[in-house]
Every structure is written in structure tokens, then in C-alpha cells.
Structure 1
Amino acid sequence: MLGLLLFCGWAQGREIGIDEALQAAFAHNPELAASGRDIGIAQGLREQAGLLPNPTLSWEQEGTESDNRTTTIGISQPLELGGKRGARVALAERGQDAAALSLQARRNELRGAVISGFYGALRAQERERLAQQSVALAQRGLTAAQGRVRAGKAAPLEANRAQVQLAEVRLEQERARRERADAYQTLAALMGLAQADFTAVRSAVADRLPRLPSSDQLLRRLGDSAPMRLAQTRIEEGEAALDLARTQRIPDLDVSLGSQEAIEDGNSDRIAVIGLSLPLPLFDRNQGNILAEARRADQARDLRNATELRLRQETQQALQQWSTAQVEVNAFRSTILPSAQTAVESATRGFEMGKFSFLDVLDAQRTLITARDQYLQALAQVSDAWGRIERVYGDVGAAAR
């Protein structure tokens, strides 16, 4: 596909292909790099979740006189009851799973954005090239009109019309140049570049866009897509948080061991001290947090269902867009563009020979320009549909292969 978008020799400098753009984006895009940090954050939280609570060392003295005082040295250790540590670890592990899937989903989103950006730059590049051709056609028409006016075979109005047409297509060429520069900058930003360090984009293969799977094939893979797996992991994460909240109903036991030295009238007496403390869950049984986590788990299930509906709709719409735009692209390639180009050539030659008026030339030129613009719009629909699918499913071309 995009065969007409091949334009080697656009400018002297570095050209990039879609694979280079994707590699650069995966390596240097700052948002993707920031998302990758979540993996390390989740690892740290998992490590912290498995740690035991620290013991507490205490020292206490009653009395300040050297002959009459009591000194107690002890150490206390909280003992977590009810499986709190295991529940914390399970929640942290679900967080690790979610971080990994979030990174994969972000990578797929970036892939889709780079595909759209790359082919947007390719279209803008082609639009400028076509605008240059339109300028050449208009210049040829102006030259022919001026020649016929000088020969007395046409009214000066013909030359004026040709001059206006040339001015219009030159404005279009300037707009196309600005659009190309903007498209290059958009692509460069996705690649993690402050400024575009390339002067052209290329399509190494004429039929670069892959043949997308059918709707049924893609929808069967929906459950394995990163967004759906992430939504399912959010449910598991919510259930793990609910389990942890339930363990908080059971109070922790504090065990303390120590030694007490009592000095009275110069006589010393040392005894061992053992203590237990356990809060009584009479009022606070963590019932509010349990209710909140239960509702969050329910919310995660609703969001998972909403995600599935959204992705199904996105898949079907993108495939319909792809199919419709492909029909348009094929029609422009096979019939409309060649016929419009032939009409311009015939009208221009006929005007030079005095068989047609310049209005006929203008009409043919404008028809060709409109057809080219519609062709590029159809190509935009095709590449946009591809990008939308890649955002959900990842590299569908590799999966098809």
C-alpha cells in the first residue's frame, strides 16, 4: 500500500522508515520511559510488603536517687495475626502484574501513535510533492495562456485566470510545506526528539500496511489484549485489597520481654518482665475500609465490562473504516487519479492548440487537485484504522505472520 507515497530523493539528508521510527520511540520516548519506572516502584512495594514489623527497644527508670530507683529494660515485638503479611504480599504482587500490563498497554498505544504519525508525515510529504506538480501544471497553463494572448488568439482574461490559478496553487504548496514540517515535528516528538533530525520519511515496501485479520479473529483475541488483561488484573487487585482490609479486623498482638532492676536502700533485686497487649476490637473493626474496598472491587468489575464493550466497538469501527477506505483508495488508484491526470493533459494540450478555453483547463486542474486531496484523505483513514487496531492488540502484522 501507499505506493504513491514513495518519494525517494525528497531532500538530501537522513530518511527514516517506519521500523526506525518505532525503534527510536521505544528507546527514547520519555512518557514510555516514565511508565517503565512503575515496574521498579512495584518491585519496591512488593519487597516492603513482605517485611516483618520492627521490634521496639525501651528503657524506663522510676526514681532518681541512686539508692532508691527501679530500672526496666525491655524489647517488644508486634506479631501480626490474621494473615496480614500474606495479604499485603498478595496485593503487592497484583500491583506488579498491573505495572507490567500498564507498560505493555502504553507501549501498544505508543506504537499506534507512531504508526499514525509516520504515515501522517508520509502523506504530508506526498501532499507537498503533489502541490509542486500542481504548480508546474499551473505554470504551464499560464505560459500557454500568455502565448495565446500575445498571438491574439485569446482574450487577456484567459491570462488573468491562469495567473490567479498559479497564485492559488502556490498558496497550497506553502500550506503543504508547513503541514509537512508540523507532521515531521509531531513524529519527532513521539520518537523522543526535540527537533526532527530527518529530512524525509520513506516506505520501504509498497504494500507496507498489513492485511488486518477479520473482526471475528480480532475479537477472539480481545481477552488476551493488554487493556483487557489489565482490566482483569485490576479486579484481582481490588479483591486482594479487600482481603487485606478484612485481615485488619483482627488486632495484632504485642509481646514484650525485659528485665527490671529494683534498688531499695542499696539492695538490688532483678526480675524478668513479660508482657502481652492486645487491642479489643469493640468499636473499630475496620468495617468502613472493608466496605470501601468491596465497592472498589465491584467498580473494577464494572470497568472491566466497560473496557470490553469499548474495545469491541473500537475494533469493529476501525475494521469498517479500514474496509471502506481501502475501497476508496483502490478506486482512486485504478480509475479516478489516472483519469483526472489524463483530463488535465488533454485539456492543456487542447488549449495550446486552440480547441478548448482556459476554463476547461482550470476545471480539469481543480478536479485533479480535489481527487488527490480525497485520495490522501482515504489513505489517512486507512493508516488511522491501522493505528487504532495496533493501540489495542499490539503488532497485528507480526501476529498475522
Structure 2
Amino acid sequence: MNPLSPLRAFENPTAARRCIAVLALVTLAAPTVAAAQTVLDPADERHRGDADGRPGDADEGSLSEAEVIRLARDRAPASVVAGATEALADARARTAGLHPNPSLSWEREAIPTGPGEVEDVVAASIPIDLIRPRAARSLAGSEGEWMRAEASLARTGAVLDAVLAYYDAVLAQARVEVLAQAVADLDEAARVLARREAAGSASGYESTRLAIAGELGRSHLAEARGALTRAQARLAGLLGLAPASVRVAPGLALMPAGAEAALAHSGGAARAAIRHAQASQRLAAEAQERARWSWLPAIELGGGVKRAGGDYGYVVGVSVNLPIFDRGQALRAEAEARVALSSARADALARTIDADLEVALVSFRAARQELERFDARTAGQVEALLAAAKSGYREGERSIVELLDAQRAQTEVVERRLSLLRTAKRAEARLRAAAGELQ
């Protein structure tokens, strides 16, 4: 039913003015009430997702959180760079520590003042160094694993940024929808009030107050549309989409109670970055062990065919690189430093992830606890305040200003609730990222 339709049934001017004032309150309160219903009620089954607390299927043609995560893993700028970094690490691992190439030589020896004999020698030589290439491969593998760890961290950060941008877009879209409806209701109220003024049954004060409320509503709507455009542009940029094509599914849901503890207690064990850091440590230790024998000299074996006049023979030889100046100390020093560096990196990464988990867990629980407490303590009181203001106005004991003051109190309550919800969702996303769900 149109909420304005009862106005047409009033013939008594006093009753009409009272009803118009109550209508102003209802239309002004509509944005906050609609926002509370549209964005999230953790206990509302209509907005619940799967059993793990993730949003359910999105509306057709709109982006769900799962779709945002999938696109961000492939298309986000940091994810693209992460993929190229992993390709570089693979290339270095494949090409590091190659054995030196064999060589082929030809020599001709002639003595013009002698009997005129010419000697030709065709020979091949093969360098043999089994120690240094193996150590070099382990060093390159250690650095490559850390490059993969950094790439994984960058990809996780890109997905987290996309998820946070998605939350902003959902909230911005919900705000636009409720403010647009509020402005439409205020415009309809203004038209009805104009007819009442023409009939002499409405005061100029009520008309002016309603006009101001309408202008405020349109200003807030314009601001909300700008915020939505910015949120869509940011999300589109992260996902490689056209801003005009970005639509997000309405509704956000907090993870079920207790699920956050399981994520925090995981210690980030599922993080690919942790596994790569540990692999970097292992390969560094392997390089250090192999470099211990780098003082052993390299050997070069050679052999070939020799022709002198019409006779043929052979040549063989062996050469040894004398370890006088270079005794492999550079390789050993690098391997030792790599062990220390990889250990420090792995320890720093583990500590950072643990800290991220703890901070996100504390933030999430604090926001959720305060949200629940705030709802329990304010929801009934705000309703009672509004009911008392409405009743008093109907009886002529309260003014429209008191009604609007009650509405502002409700608006502040809803905005505070949405602020706590936003904090909880952002902390939840960071907790999931630290635990390895967004990599």
C-alpha cells in the first residue's frame, strides 16, 4: 500500500497536519531502516551464506564475493606481476648451475725453414666440475623459492584489496538504493503537502521543513552516488572490468561464531608463502653443504687426432685448475649468507602472519561483540523513543522537531551499527587472508 494514501482520507485539517508530520518522520527514517535490512542482519536467514559463513549465490549478472576472489587471482595488477615473478623464478631454477660446454679445436703447425712437414691436430676437451654447478643450482633454487613466496604474498594482498573494495561497493550500492527511495517518498510527500497547502489545511512551517528535508535527501543521494561510482571504479580496476559493467550482489554475512578461532589457530599453515619460505631454507642449507667441497679443483679432459705428413696419431691430455687464489671461498661465503638470510626471512614471515592473525582476530571479535551489545541495548530503546514521539505528536503534546530528533537518534544508531559491521567484515577478510583462504 502507498504510505501516502491515508492522507487523502483526511478531511479534518488538524488530523491532516498530524499525519503529514508522522509521514515526514517515516520517510526520513526510511534510509536507515532500509539500510539495516539490506546490508546485513547477522541473524537474518535471508542474508546467510553457506555453512562457512561465505555469501551464497549472487543475483544473476552481479558479482559475488567468490567471483571477485577468482577474478582478482588472475586479473589484479599485483597478481599479474606475481605470475611473472613466478615465471622468472622458474626460468632461473632451470638455467642455474649448467655445466660448461665442451670445446673443439683445430691447430696446424708448420716450420717453413724445416723439411716442410705440416702437422694438424683436431682435439676436443670436456671440463668436469661436479661441485660448483650443484651448489649454484641450490642457491638459485633457494632464491627462486623466496621469489615465489613474495609472489604469493603479493597475490594474497591483491585478493584482499579486491574483497575490501567489494565490501565498499556493496555498502555504497545499498546506501544509494535506500536514499533514492527516501527521496522518492519525500517528493511524493511534498506533492501531497502542496495540495493541502492549496486547500489551506497545512502550515507553511511544515512545508518549509519538508522542503529542507527533501534537499538534504537529494544532497545525500548525490554524494552516495559519487561514492558508489568511485567504489565501482576501484573494484573494476582491480578486476580488469569496465566500471559500467560492475554490479555487486547485495547482502553481507559475518562468519559463524567460532569459525574465527579455527582460522586463528591455523597459524597460517595453509599459506603457500610459508611453504616456499621453508623450501628456501632447505635449499640454502643444501647449497651450504655442497659448497663445503668447492675447494676441489676443476678438471678438463681432452683428446684428438693428429696428422703429420701421411701418418696419423692421437693426442690426449688432462688439465687441473690449481686452487691457489680461488679456493671456492666466494661460493661458501654466499651459501653461508644465504642460509642466514633464508632463516631470517622465514622467521620474519611467520611472525608477521601470526601478528596479522592475532590483530584480525581481536578486531573481529571486538567489533562483533560491540555490535551485539549495541543492538541489544539500543534497538528497543530507539523503537520506544520513536513510538513515544509519534504518540505525543498525535495528541498534540510534542512538536515535529521532537519527532525529527527521535529520527536522528535512530539514524545515529543505524550508522553506528553499520560502522561496527564494516570493521568486523574488514577484520574477517584480513583474518581469512592471513590464514591462507585468499591466496
Identify whether the pair has TM-score above 0.5, normalized to the shorter chain: yes
| Cα drift, residue 283 of structure 1 | 1.7
Equivalences for 1:134-145 in 2 at 5 Å?
134-135=182-183
In the aligned structure 1, how far is the partner of 2:139 from the partner of 2:129?
Answer: 16
Q: Say if 1:329 and 1:375, in contact at 8 Å, map to a contact too.
A: yes
Residue in structure 1 matching 2:276, options 230, 236, 242 = 230
Q: Say if 1:255 and 1:276, in contact at 8 Å, map to a contact too.
A: yes
Q: TM-score, normalised by structure 1?
A: 0.77
Residue in structure 2 matching 1:22, options 61, 69, 80 = 69
| Cα drift, residue 301 of structure 1 | 1.7
Equivalences for 1:52-91 in 2 at 5 Å?
52-63=99-110, 67-81=116-130, 83-91=131-139
Query: Corresponding residue for 1:116?
Result: 164
Count residues in correspondence: 384
Q: Say if 1:115 and 1:383, in contact at 8 Å, map to a contact too.
A: no
Query: Corresponding residue for 1:371?
Result: 413
Aligned CA RMSD, in angstroms, stands at 4.0
Equivalences for 1:2-401 in 2 at 5 Å?
4-5=38-39, 14-29=61-76, 31-49=78-96, 52-63=99-110, 67-81=116-130, 83-91=131-139, 94=142, 105-132=153-180, 134-135=182-183, 156=205, 159-203=207-251, 207=253, 209-211=255-257, 213=259, 215=261, 218-243=264-289, 245-262=291-308, 267-331=309-373, 333=375, 336=378, 340=382, 343=385, 347=389, 354-395=396-437
Query: Which residue identity is paired with 2:304?
Result: G
Q: Which residues of structure 1 form unaligned runs of 5+? A: 397-401
Distance of aligned partners of 1:364 and 1:237 in 2 relative to their CA distance in 1, 3 Å threshold = farther
Comparing 340-349 with 226-235, which one deviates more in the overlay?
340-349
Q: Say if 1:16 and 1:202, in contact at 8 Å, map to a contact too.
A: no
In the aligned structure 2, how far is the partner of 1:216 from the partner of 1:14?
Answer: 33
In the aligned structure 1, how far is the partner of 2:328 from the partner of 2:383?
Answer: 77
Distance of aligned partners of 1:50 and 1:105 in 2 relative to their CA distance in 1, 3 Å threshold = same
| Cα drift, residue 244 of structure 1 | 5.3
Distance of aligned partners of 1:51 and 1:281 in 2 relative to their CA distance in 1, 3 Å threshold = closer
Comparing 88-97 with 52-61, which one deviates more in the overlay?
88-97
Q: Say if 2:298 and 2:321, in contact at 8 Å, map to a contact too.
A: yes
| Cα drift, residue 333 of structure 1 | 4.9
| Cα drift, residue 291 of structure 1 | 2.5
Q: Say if 1:131 and 1:172, in contact at 8 Å, map to a contact too.
A: yes
Q: Secondary structure at the match of 1:25?
A: helix
Q: Say if 2:69 and 2:159, in contact at 8 Å, map to a contact too.
A: yes
Q: Secondary structure at the match of 2:317?
A: strand
Distance of aligned partners of 1:214 and 1:391 in 2 relative to their CA distance in 1, 3 Å threshold = closer
Q: Deviations over 1:261-310 (max 9, x none)?
A: 33xxxx44443222222222212224244324423321322232222222
Q: Say if 2:263 and 2:431, in contact at 8 Å, map to a contact too.
A: no
Q: Secondary structure at the match of 2:350?
A: helix
Q: Say if 1:148 and 1:352, in contact at 8 Å, map to a contact too.
A: no
Q: Percent identity?
A: 23
Comparing 335-344 with 269-278, which one deviates more in the overlay?
335-344
Distance of aligned partners of 1:249 and 1:176 in 2 relative to their CA distance in 1, 3 Å threshold = farther
Distance of aligned partners of 1:352 and 1:187 in 2 relative to their CA distance in 1, 3 Å threshold = farther
Q: Secondary structure at the match of 2:417?
A: helix
Comparing 26-35 with 250-259, which one deviates more in the overlay?
26-35
Distance of aligned partners of 1:301 and 1:200 in 2 relative to their CA distance in 1, 3 Å threshold = closer
Query: Which residue identity is paired with 1:281?
Result: P
Q: Secondary structure at the match of 1:53?
A: coil
Q: Deviations over 1:348-401 (max 9, x none)?
A: 6865775433432332333333333222221211111111112122239xxxxx
Q: Say if 2:126 and 2:300, in contact at 8 Å, map to a contact too.
A: yes
Q: TM-score, normalised by structure 2?
A: 0.72
| Cα drift, residue 339 of structure 1 | 5.1
